[in-house]
């Protein structure tokens, strides 16, 4: 037999949330996001610096491989004022480079070739790392590139001890 009290209890499902419970959960979520958001912003800024350093390192390996495979010097140039860098064939004997690569830095990053003498690159005078056809790095190439973030954090791309490659470091010290 079903009475009116039983019907009223069935209408309220014990598995359902009340409006008050939903509001409390949403409030807790908003507080949690407001606390975590600044930390995540710093994480992503640091991640941008790290990713750019790895992209530069990969471009260095590509330039070195290209110099060996094509038998022609390849330049990894750095244009600090324009926030750009790229890879191009040293065009002293040939005109243009159809395989040239140009990259733009994130506006919050700064790339500097430390103690680098400028060389002619596609009609401009820019600091550049010169990869020779035998796979070596020209002695006049900068030994260090500094990648700096907006918050002052920096990563260094430094020539290895054998001067055959570059590596990423957190400091310019050996």
pLDDT at 138 over 70: yes
Buried residues in 84-120 as b, exposed as e (16+ CB within 10 A): ebbbbbbbeeeeebeebeeeebeeebebbbeebeebe
Can you give the CATH number for the domain in which 58 is found?
3.55.40.10
Residue 149's pLDDT is: 87
pLDDT of 117 strictly over 70: yes
- The number of folded domains in the chain is 1
Question: Looking at the domain assignment, is residue 68 inside a domain?
Answer: yes
In a domain, 56, yes or no: yes
CB neighbour class for 147 (10 Å; exposed up to 12, middle 13-18, buried from 19): buried
Q: Are 52 and 109 in contact (CB under 8 A)?
A: yes
pTM across the whole model: 0.71
**Residues 53/168, Cβ–Cβ less than 8 Å:** yes
Residue 4 lies in a domain: no
Q: Is 70 helix (H, G, I), strand (E, B) or coil?
A: helix
* Cβ 158 vs Cβ 166: under 8 Å: yes
pLDDT digits (tens, 9 = 90+) for 38-80: 766 666 555 788 899 999 999 999 999 999 999 999 999 999 9
Structure tokens at 37: 């958001």
What range defines the domain where residue 33 resides?
Answer: 19-169
Q: Does any domain span residue 10?
A: no
Question: What integer best gives the mean pLDDT of the chain?
Answer: 84
Percent of the chain at pLDDT > 90 equals 47
Least confident stretch, 7-11, 106-110, 164-168: 7-11
């Amino acid at each position: 037999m079903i009475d009116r009290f039983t019907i009223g209890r069935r209408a309220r499902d014990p598995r359902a949330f009340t409006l008050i419970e939903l509001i409390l959960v949403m409030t807790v979520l908003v507080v949690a996001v407001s606390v975590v958001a600044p930390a995540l912003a710093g994480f992503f800024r640091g991640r941008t610096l790290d990713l750019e350093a790895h992209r530069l390192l990969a471009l260095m390996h590509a330039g070195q491989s290209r110099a060996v495979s094509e038998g022609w010097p390849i330049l990894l140039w750095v244009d600090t004022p324009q926030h750009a860098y790229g890879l191009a064939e040293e065009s002293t004997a040939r005109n243009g480079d159809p395989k040239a690569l140009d990259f733009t830095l994130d506006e919050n990053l700064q790339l500097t070739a430390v103690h680098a003498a400028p060389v002619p690159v596609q009609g401009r005078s820019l600091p550049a790392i010169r990869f020779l056809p035998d796979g070596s790095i020209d002695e006049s190439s900068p030994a260090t590139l500094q990648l700096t973030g907006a918050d002052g954090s920096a990563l260094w791309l430094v020539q290895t001890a054998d001067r055959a490659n570059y590596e990423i470091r957190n400091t310019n010290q050996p």
